[in-house]
Amino acid sequence: MENQLHKNDLSYIETMGISVAIMAPTAAMALNGSLAASIAGTSVPLTFLLAMITIGFVAFSFIQFNRHFSSSGSVYAFTTASLGPRVGFLSGWTLLLNAP
């Protein structure tokens, strides 16, 4: 049996939650840019560009790791596989402690 998402699998509240979650990163950048520009001046677009490039490299590394290590542990599993179990343990607890 295939696990596929059908039209009636999500409730209205769940659909709204997904929409807000998808919009949140874009809204955060759009709403905070003017405040940052008032403080930092004209260097804000360059900062956003550098951040976008950095996030692109991080996303690319996640894609490459996911091709080699198929795991639901994400950062914890990737760090354990690449840097060892002690650093993986530390990264897992760091993610847990930084959760809102």
- How close are the terminal C-alpha atoms of the chain, in Å? 37
pTM more than 0.75: no
d(CA 72, CA 90): 17
d(CA 46, CA 56): 15
The total number of residues written for the chain in this structure: 100
The domain spans of the chain are: 9-68, 71-99
Which two structure tokens, joined as six digits, stand for 20?
């807000």
Tell me how many degrees the CA angle 79-73-21 measures, rounded to the nearest 5: 110
pLDDT in tens, 16-70: 787 778 777 777 766 677 777 788 788 888 888 898 899 889 888 877 887 877 7
Confidence of residue 6 (pLDDT cuts 50, 70, 90): low
